[in-house]
Amino acid sequence: MDILKELNPQQRQAVTAPAGPVLVLAGPGSGKTRVLTNRIAYLINQLGAQPYQILAVTFTNKAAREMESRLAKLLDRSVQGIWMGTFHAICARILRREQAYLPFTSSFVIFDDDDQNTLIKRAVKDLNLDEKLYKPTSVRAAISNAKNNLILPKDYPASTYRDEVIARIYERYQTLLISNNAVDFDDLLLYTWKLLEENPTVRDTYSRRLQHILVDEFQDTNMVQYELLRHLASAHNHLFVVGDEDQSIYRWRGADYRNVLRFEEDYPGAQKILLEQNYRSTQTVLDAARAVIDRNRYRTPKRLKALPEHGQGEKLELYEAVDDYGEAAYVVETIQQSVRYGKARAGEFAVMYRTNAMSRLLEEAFLRAGLPYRLVGAQRFYGRREVKDIISFLRLLQNPNDEISLGRVINVPPRGIGDKAQVSLQLAAQAAQTSAGQVLLELAAKGKEAASWEILGRSARLLADVGGLLAAWREQLDTLSLPNLFDRVLNDVGYREYIDDGSEEGSGRWENVQELRRLAVEYEERGLSAFLENLALVSDQDTIPEEAEAPTLLTLHAAKGLEFPCVFITGLDDGMLPHNRALDDPEEMAEERRLFYVGITRAKKRVYLVRAAQRSTYGSFQDSIPSRFLDDIPADKLQNSGARGYSTRRSGSSTTWNDNRSLRGGSYAAPASAGGPPARQAAPVLPARYKPGMRVSHPSWGEGLVIDSRLQDGDETVDVAFESVGFKRLLGSLAKLDILKS
């Protein structure tokens, strides 16, 4: 075993750096996981560190698992004891150990977005505020933002009336969380930070114990995370952080790539190491990517070098489809062709998009072609109703104070407990200064003797029955194994009969339940609490199935940290990528650019850039223009495969007059060679008649200046700024434009 053998000089410098602050700026594909893994091995083997003295923070649970297994291979000895996981998982672990300092018990549950929204609605209602004005999602964003920036309710800046109100909602929301014995995602970080901030003894204990702290994807840390690291490292400053400003894509979650700059300021002696040797892509892919990212500012420029054996590689391929159906069809057919001609295996392809909504058409195209695919994210498994129901039952078992879960399943399956009964239950709980769950348990235990039996009136019996179920389950909490407990709950409530109505969806729902049960079996050893925590903290990226011989469909965000031989980036239109919401904010725009950069640099060999001249939004069709990022790719790195010009849109309306674009494209399409849609076909050579700078005249809009012109879909699209009506986009063949002078 030689930790240093397969490292290049920069990697070796990083791995063998003396204990102290180290900043590794690692370009895509430069082997940063290897650096992190070997660094840990080096700490243990050469610097005499014990595994339990090492904390390694990863971006996903999957990355943690991967690092663990690589490390086990690298070291002969067991790596048990290393703290490895996401910020959230590590914080949850600390919080469960330190309940003495916290306003909740160690059986706290973690609320997800839906739970948060429900709770915020409740807070808004409690404060008699207008629910239309204070929408849960927007309030949640404000609160989350505050938490990410270490702002507690009392410190929330009340600069506007709205902020003042949000501060009150925030405060109420925190109170509600605590009475539910619950925390949200941001709380995991915030409470841990607060714990270390306010209790120097606790801070020192952790900091002295965790002698070496390593952080992956450092560019995507936010302020709480940064401050948390400072506290944890306060006794020694042994912080080894690895990141790349160019791959920071979680700004909306509070991530700030400028933490990389702050790190250099806060730790002046920090070693800075740049990893520029790329082990993944061809030089062409790297050059194209660099041309895109070099337009961003406030970063360390990097010159990524490909391995000589990877060679120059193929040009990036650009395809402009007539509409989004054509876009999907192109993706599917290109994959089929490549597989058929043995150029690549199906599993070597990834199809990336900006928004999950875009996956639908792609999935349909794959289904129609009979081509299997694997989908990452989107309708999350854990977001499905039946899965959430069962999780709610289990959460309630662990923590009867969880009113959100109770509200979710108290009447599942329907057992006659409607709104009215639930409201009186709330009132009874309030009167008794306790939670609804406790009232249920009391009803079950004492029956008619219970204090609230009278108040509840007719529904008391029904509520007591639910309480009885809950009490019975809780008695078994320590005796039954997790899978048995799972079955017991399902049996007692008759859940299968409730969701599996014999229909196709019904058995699909039951299938999901069984999937969840399989997971419960895996957690038999660790128990309910660990099971629930894992359910809350797993991410989409953790659930990417490996080694399946099928193309992967995923968002650009989910693609971070992955690599594929062939990558499609779809939706390369202004408004999609860059996304509409980024168009008027330079910081957001820079992030969209990084997102595109991340997409390109996932590719080992081939990149397909795809756009659609028209796409459906909300049901109606809209024209789009090519993404501005496409202009930044040097022409000699790009191969334009032109417009194929047909759509697989099924509606019969494709021949209506206003659809002349698809028609026009269609008329240029090559005669179908052997049935089916025509194979890839270059656009016909059509001279551009208009050039930027020309003065033109239009019969109704008068004179104007040509801003831009390009050939697409077999026609010429001309952008003209008219003196009378301003900016207009015209089709060369239709518009009656006269050229006045060039």
Residue whose tokens read 């703290």: 83
| Cβ atoms 644, 673 nearer than 8 A | no
Least Å distance, CB 87 to DNA, is: 7
Determine if 544 is a binding residue for DNA (CB under 7 A): no
Determine if 421 is a binding residue for DNA (CB under 7 A): yes
Greatest CA separation for the chain: 96
Known active-site residue 32: yes
Determine if 355 is a binding residue for DNA (CB under 7 A): yes
- Selected binder of DNA within 163, 314, 487, 542 (CB under 7 A): 542
Determine if 557 is a binding residue for DNA (CB under 7 A): yes
Interface characters, 629-658, with DNA (x: CB under 7 A): ----------------------x-------
Stretch of 229-237, 327-335, 426-434, 539-547 contacting DNA, by CB under 7 A: 539-547
Residue whose tokens read 């599942």: 412
Residue whose tokens read 């730790």: 267
Q: What is the torsional sign of CA 572, 608, 321, 689?
A: positive
Which of 13, 16, 33, 681 is the catalytic position?
A: 33
Least Å distance, CB 414 to DNA, is: 3
| Cβ atoms 248, 218 nearer than 8 A | no
Tell me how far apart the alpha carbons of residues 358 and 368 are, in angstroms, rounded to a whole number: 16
494 Rama sector, left if φ>0, alpha if ψ -120 to 50, beta otherwise: left
- Selected binder of DNA within 78, 106, 137, 491 (CB under 7 A): 137
Q: For residue 564, which phi and psi values (nearest 5 degrees)?
A: -145, 145
Tell me how far apart the alpha carbons of residues 343 and 90 are, in angstroms, rounded to a whole number: 44
Known active-site residue 132: no
Q: Is 214 exposed, middle or buried (0-12, 13-18, 19+ CB in 10 A)?
A: buried
Determine if 204 is a binding residue for DNA (CB under 7 A): no
Binding to DNA (CB under 7 A) within 70-129 occurs at 86-89, 113
682 Rama sector, left if φ>0, alpha if ψ -120 to 50, beta otherwise: beta
- Selected binder of DNA within 411, 438, 476, 681 (CB under 7 A): 411
| Cβ atoms 391, 489 nearer than 8 A | no
Using CA atoms, how far residue 609 sits from 60, 285, 352, 638, in Å, is 28, 12, 10, 9
Tell me how far apart the alpha carbons of residues 629 and 354 are, in angstroms, rounded to a whole number: 14
Stretch of 75-83, 306-314, 503-511, 533-541 contacting DNA, by CB under 7 A: 533-541
Which of 217, 320, 533, 716 is the catalytic position?
A: 217
Which of 602, 606, 637, 664 is the catalytic position?
A: 602
Sort strands 726-731 and 715-722 into parallel, antiparallel or unpaired.
Answer: antiparallel
Total residues interacting with DNA, rule: CB under 7 A: 45
Stretch of 330-338, 392-400, 438-446, 615-623 contacting DNA, by CB under 7 A: 615-623
Stretch of 15-23, 311-319, 417-425, 721-729 contacting DNA, by CB under 7 A: 417-425
Tell me how far apart the alpha carbons of residues 389 and 396 are, in angstroms, rounded to a whole number: 11
Known active-site residue 290: no
Determine if 459 is a binding residue for DNA (CB under 7 A): yes
Determine if 253 is a binding residue for DNA (CB under 7 A): yes
Known active-site residue 216: yes
Tell me how far apart the alpha carbons of residues 541 and 63 are, in angstroms, rounded to a whole number: 9
Tell me how far apart the alpha carbons of residues 280 and 31 are, in angstroms, rounded to a whole number: 9
Known active-site residue 247: yes
Determine if 619 is a binding residue for DNA (CB under 7 A): yes
Interface characters, 154-193, with DNA (x: CB under 7 A): -------------------------------xx-------
Least Å distance, CB 617 to DNA, is: 8
Known active-site residue 430: no
Tell me how far apart the alpha carbons of residues 354 and 356 are, in angstroms, rounded to a whole number: 7
Least Å distance, CB 458 to DNA, is: 8
Determine if 587 is a binding residue for DNA (CB under 7 A): no
| Cβ atoms 570, 362 nearer than 8 A | yes
Binding to DNA (CB under 7 A) within 482-511 occurs at none
Tell me how far apart the alpha carbons of residues 372 and 335 are, in angstroms, rounded to a whole number: 11
Q: Residue 424 is encoded by which pair of tokens? A: 């009186």
Q: Residue 530 is encoded by which pair of tokens? A: 């660990």
Stretch of 95-103, 168-176, 463-471, 537-545 contacting DNA, by CB under 7 A: 537-545
Q: Which residues are catalytic?
A: 32-33, 216-217, 247, 602
Catalog residues that contact DNA under the rule CB under 7 A. Answer: 60, 86-89, 113, 135, 137, 144, 185-186, 249, 252-253, 354-357, 360, 377, 411, 414-421, 459, 537, 539-542, 555, 557-558, 579, 581-582, 616, 618-619, 651
